[in-house]
Structure 1
Amino acid sequence: MEEKRNFKMPHLLWIMVGLILISCFATYIVSAGKFSVNDFGIIMGDKFEFLDHQTPVSPWKAFNLIRSGLIGSATIIFVVMVSGANINVVLETGAIDDFMNWSIYRMRNHKSKNILISLLFILMAYLGGFGGTDALIAVVPIGILFAKKLKLDPIVALGVTTFATLIGFGTGPAQQATTQMLMGIAPYSSFFTRFICMNFFIAVGIIMVLLYVKKIEKNPKSSLMYDEGWRPEKLEDDSNETSILKEVKMSWRTIVVIAVFFCQYLLIVAYPLLGGDPKQLYDFMMAVMFISMIIIGFVGKMTPEELGKSFAKGLSSMAFVGFVIGLARVISLILADGNIIHTIVYVLTRPLLELPKTVSSIGLTIIVALMNPLIPSATSKAAILVPIIKPVAETLGLNLNIAVMAFQLGDGFTNLISPLLGWMIGSCVLANVSFQKWFKWTFPKVIIFLLLSFVWIYVLTIMGWTGRI
């Protein structure tokens, strides 16, 4: 008898090709229509009319738009690629690893587990918030050894590593620059508000982990891993074990690398605030990231050859993401050429227009949260959804930074339960935790995070937040 094969999600390339073909098909069946615009080119949400004819885009014409899509997204693509190269160089210097090892070793003899757990959680969350990539799967062994030392289960190991890094990644003020660029607003704008938001959710995440720790310490049988054989009394502190929890001295090189890495974001954020020319912002960003990458590489004791290879590796790792951004631009061009993008926006906004702005902005968060499991890549998802979200926000009269915040919070938390996210699944494999166990522990927390994000969006909307700070 033939073994039943489990469904496997197609590669993102084929998902994009499928979306292109679906977009073409839509131009044949969705009624073409347009919103009127005022003298300033702003959509007038109350003035929409259907065209008296269809303007379909054939698949052949669509694939002929690939070059236009890539060219139209060139600035964003190259900024994303240089940013990926920058982060890869930082990771390969080993400075981040040294800093984490030093921090854990310094905390090793502290009497309060709560403080130890909280400090590691914050460290990991900040790492995810400012340098998050799927390469952070590599920090899971730190959490495993950390949990073993404290006689806690593998769920806690993931809680202080992947759970923390994904919360930071999902709410970090430096993580939505691409979305902001696609929206047509300054990248890293509203940095300080987002920074406060990130720290709020970090605090909530810490409380969640600490409550679980308290629960399993009081009754080990309440651990989700108890039926998998986890027993705290069997976890002996083997001082002879070769582990990551060993003494590491913080060298001046490590300090400088970390300082330069974080300062580059401060420079980029400060540029428009200090009167820099907004038209030169992307030039400034790429120059700062490129120069800081060189400084970090040489301070981190890389040879010119090693630095070049690390740069090339990081650049190439983002090449496919860049191509996907270009393909997403093709979808936008198809919908625009077929004159159905405004029709889609009109249909989406009709029910929302009858609601207060505060409820409408929350609706955008829900839409993104539902889409996230289908397209795990935040950058790809932004490229696909922004052409729809932006005109929806404009039609509703929402500030575009509100729309970006709605996108970020809708996108960030469902990563924690996405079976399609390699970062998440790889972490579960490393910690020897089944996805079912992880889902059971995490799902209620994701619901809480989403409810809290609705509160954030609601408050920012009624405040009339413009994203200037």
Structure 2
Amino acid sequence: MAGFMAGPTNLYTVGVCNGILQKMGILEEGTSVFVGLPFRLILWIILTVISIAYILFYAERVKKDPSRSLMKEVDVSDLILEHDDNVTFTGRHILVLLSILVAMVMTIFGMQKGYDGVKWTIDDVSAIFLASALFSGFVGKMKPSEIADAFLAGAKGAIGGAMIVGFARAVYWIMNTAGINATIVYNATQVLKGMNPIGAAIGIVLLVSLLNGLIPSGSGKGALLSPIIIPIAMELGLTSQTSVLAYQFGDGITNMFWFSYGTLMIFLGYGKVSIQKWWKFFVPLMLIFFVLAAGALIVAIHTGF
């Protein structure tokens, strides 16, 4: 989360926004889409240290007093993996690991280069890892029924999250097809007009944070918002990179708050963590990040970032 938020090399937020700025003529052609890398690296280090400290603080508190755990009433005994310490590492294990490695290499190549000029989508990547899983099962001498049972056991924790993601995508499709998204974005951005630079920067963070619930995709929001928000922000005295930074914070801070964020809901389902318990854990950290974002934007404004 900290890395995605600071985004030193985040193709989905910084890359998309700066790519659009190049097409608009705001950022010179040939300029790296990751301009401003040193400042973002510093932010990444700060945010990462704070995230680790927050998690360790919670873990230490629960270690001293287990009754303070947010999960104290949840039975997670079935999440404990049983293992045999006497298992011998064999050639079959090597083949399984190699199949995973091949799948990862093919994914990287497919996403970057593609086949016959067409880059892979998430469907192609899913097919590769499914093939790797089937290969691993047969190498491990599992029967087809055992492979199917193992697949279902792994998938059942994600079903709830997948349904929520499906409903969220349906709502997004309806709103996007009807032009409702564009209407909301246009009217919301009008609030920024007349603000001072600091107010505009913080306003962008809050605006994008709210829209994050409707449009979870960082690249999708970037393509929709940046052509509207950044010119307005620049008229109010913000540089293009400070505007992009404000967008990054708005997108990154609340990514793990909204239940429309598919990855979050799937992993919460796997861990048997309700969204209410997650909010109790995450909201304090989210508020800390908002304060840090405001401070970072003030520094960016005064340094002409």
TM-score normalised per structure 1: 0.43
Which of 189, 210, 233 aligns to 1:370? It is 210
How do 1:46-445 and structure 2 match up within 5 A?
A: 166-175=1-10, 176=13, 177-184=15-22, 185=27, 186-229=32-75, 238-240=82-84, 289-290=112-113, 311-314=119-122, 348-350=192-194, 352=195, 355=196, 357-445=197-285
Given that 1:362 and 1:458 are in contact with CA atoms closer than 8 Å, whether structure 2 keeps it comes out as no
Structure 2 CA distance, aligned partners of 1:241 and 1:392? 61
- Residue 380 of structure 1, CA deviation: 1.4
Residue identity opposite 2:249 in structure 1: L
SS of residue matched to 2:120: helix
- Residue 230 of structure 1, CA deviation: 5.5
Equivalenced residues, count: 236
Given that 1:361 and 1:403 are in contact with CA atoms closer than 8 Å, whether structure 2 keeps it comes out as yes
2:286 aligns with 446
SS of residue matched to 2:70: coil
Structure 2 CA distance, aligned partners of 1:441 and 1:373? 19
Q: Mark the CA change 1:413 to 1:348 in structure 2 (over 3 Å): closer, same or farther.
A: closer
Q: Mark the CA change 1:313 to 1:364 in structure 2 (over 3 Å): closer, same or farther.
A: closer
SS of residue matched to 1:227: coil
Instruction: Give the gaps of 5 or more residues in structure 1.
Output: 1-165, 265-287, 294-306, 336-340
Q: Mark the CA change 1:387 to 1:242 in structure 2 (over 3 Å): closer, same or farther.
A: farther
Given that 2:204 and 2:247 are in contact with CA atoms closer than 8 Å, whether structure 1 keeps it comes out as yes
Structure 2 CA distance, aligned partners of 1:408 and 1:461? 15
SS of residue matched to 1:228: coil
Given that 2:74 and 2:272 are in contact with CA atoms closer than 8 Å, whether structure 1 keeps it comes out as no
- Residue 434 of structure 1, CA deviation: 1.2
Q: Percent identity?
A: 25
- Residue 192 of structure 1, CA deviation: 2.5
Q: Mark the CA change 1:444 to 1:399 in structure 2 (over 3 Å): closer, same or farther.
A: same
Given that 1:362 and 1:454 are in contact with CA atoms closer than 8 Å, whether structure 2 keeps it comes out as yes
Structure 1 CA distance, aligned partners of 2:44 and 2:198? 21
- Residue 314 of structure 1, CA deviation: 4.5
Given that 1:174 and 1:188 are in contact with CA atoms closer than 8 Å, whether structure 2 keeps it comes out as yes
Structure 2 CA distance, aligned partners of 1:418 and 1:242? 44
1:116-165 superposed Cα distances (whole Å, 9 cap, x missing partner): xxxxxxxxxxxxxxxxxxxxxxxxxxxxxxxxxxxxxxxxxxxxxxxxxx
- Residue 347 of structure 1, CA deviation: 5.5
- Residue 170 of structure 1, CA deviation: 2.6
1:163-184 superposed Cα distances (whole Å, 9 cap, x missing partner): xxx3322322222200111233
1:455 aligns with 295
- Residue 212 of structure 1, CA deviation: 0.8
TM-score normalised per structure 2: 0.63
Structure 1 CA distance, aligned partners of 2:264 and 2:79? 25
Q: Over the residues paired in the alignment, what is the CA RMSD in angstroms?
A: 4.3
Q: Mark the CA change 1:398 to 1:218 in structure 2 (over 3 Å): closer, same or farther.
A: same
Query: Quick check: which has more Rg, 1 or 2?
Result: 1
Instruction: Give the gaps of 5 or more residues in structure 2.
Output: 88-92, 126-168
Residue identity opposite 2:6 in structure 1: T
